[in-house]
Every structure is written in structure tokens, then in C-alpha cells.
Amino acid sequence: MRKTIILAAAAAVAFAAPALAQTETQRAQAAQGQNGSGAGVQTAPNASTPGRGRVGSAEVTTTAGFIRAVAISDIYEVEAARLAGQRSGNAAIKRFAEHMAQDHAATTTQLKSAVQAMNGPSPPTSMDTRHTEMVSQLRNARSSDFERLFVSQEIAAHEEAVALFRAYSQQGDNAQLRQWASTTLPKLEEHLTMARQLQGQRG
């Protein structure tokens, strides 16, 4: 009888172990989800694909988040355009790069004026790590790879910018910046179309 009880208890433990392990795994996954490291939490994109899916979050629909994102994007665009003007031998890419440098310099000026008018937080004057790495990739790319990488980055960067401005124009917490985002959005959509056309021309 005693032997039978012992065997039954051992079987119960063996049966319960996988369920307990599964429960512990689920708890760990839930904890990871709460602290931002679990499944479903967006991870940082690689340097050549700027942040698709990030926009529309609470961070970029706040005044401070939007200002930061726009300023960093503009700094990157101007620097990437400068490198394209120096390194590319393609006339169409050079024209596009010049266009980007002019338009994003203008956007920077407009943003600064809007921030001053609303007494908002000062825009950053340098890129974040992700955009710094993107510029580094362009700077270090082989000549044969530069134009492909530049156009690829421009498409991804403008996809992100379009989504950013669209999200803020609809959900932003400052009326003045919402209006500016709305009026600037068509220009960024034009940039995205131009970058995609360049990619099509290159096959």
C-alpha cells in the first residue's frame, strides 16, 4: 500500500512539472512585456532602416517627442545629402540630394521658429546613435554600394518622416505644431515619391 502511494505521488509530480514550467515561462514573458523587453514590444531597427512603426506612439505625439524626432531627422537628412553630393556620380542623385539639403534646412528653420513662438523645448543639435550609425554607413560604404545604400536609407527615412508628421498632425498635443505638421506633410510625401523613383530608375 505504501509503495502504491509513493508511486502515485511521483506520477503526480511528474505530471505537474511541465505545467509548472509553463506557468513560470508565462510569468516571465508577462514580466518582460511589462518592462518593455517582451514579445510585441518594438525593438530598435537596424541603422539602415530607420524606425518603421515607431511613429504614432505617445512619445512622438507629445510636443517634446515630436520636436526631437523632427530635429534629428533633419540633421540626418542634411548630412546624408552632403555625403551624396560628394560621393555620388549620378546626376539625378546629386539633384535629389541638393533638394533634400535645401528642404530639410528650411524645415529646421521653421521648426525653430515654431518652438520659439510657443516657448517650447529646444530642439537637439546633434543626431542620436541610430542616425549617427546610418551616416557612418554612408561614409564608409564602398563606392559601388554608396548610391544603393543612400537611396535605400532615404526611402526608409522618409517613410518614417511621413508617418511621424501624419501621426502628429492627427494626434499631437499642440495645435500650432499640428497645423505645421499638416502643412509640411505633403512636401515629405513628395520627397518619398522622389526617392522611390530614384530606386526604380536604378532597377
* Confidence (pLDDT) at 5: 42
- 193 inside domain: yes
Q: Are 100 and 85 in contact (CB under 8 A)?
A: no
Are 78 and 119 in a shared domain? yes
Are 23 and 74 in a shared domain? no
CATH code: domain of residue 114: 1.20.1260.10
- 51 inside domain: no
pLDDT tens profile 8-64: 444 444 444 444 344 444 443 433 333 333 333 232 334 444 444 354 455 678 999
Q: Are 73 and 161 in contact (CB under 8 A)?
A: yes
* Confidence (pLDDT) at 58: 55
Q: Are 82 and 101 in contact (CB under 8 A)?
A: yes
* Confidence (pLDDT) at 203: 54
Q: Look at residue 74 and tell me whether its pLDDT is greater than 90.
A: yes
- 46 inside domain: no
- 2 inside domain: yes
Are 102 and 189 in a shared domain? yes
Q: Are 47 and 134 in contact (CB under 8 A)?
A: yes
Size of the chain in residues? 203
Residue 36 CA to its chain's centroid (Å): 17
Are 104 and 26 in a shared domain? no
- 89 inside domain: yes
The x, y and z cell numbers of residue 169, run together, are: 498632425
pLDDT tens profile 146-165: 999 999 999 999 999 999 99
* Confidence (pLDDT) at 112: 96
- 189 inside domain: yes
pLDDT tens profile 161-198: 999 999 999 999 999 999 999 999 999 999 999 999 99
Q: Are 71 and 108 in contact (CB under 8 A)?
A: yes
Are 72 and 23 in a shared domain? no
Helix or strand or coil: residue 88? coil
- 53 inside domain: no
State the virtual CA torsion across 25, 26, 29, 31 in degrees, nearest 10.
-110
The mean per-residue pLDDT over the stretch 66-95 comes to: 97
Are 87 and 131 in a shared domain? yes
Are 194 and 110 in a shared domain? yes
pTM summary value:
0.73
Number of domains in the chain: 2
Domain of residue 159 covers: 63-201
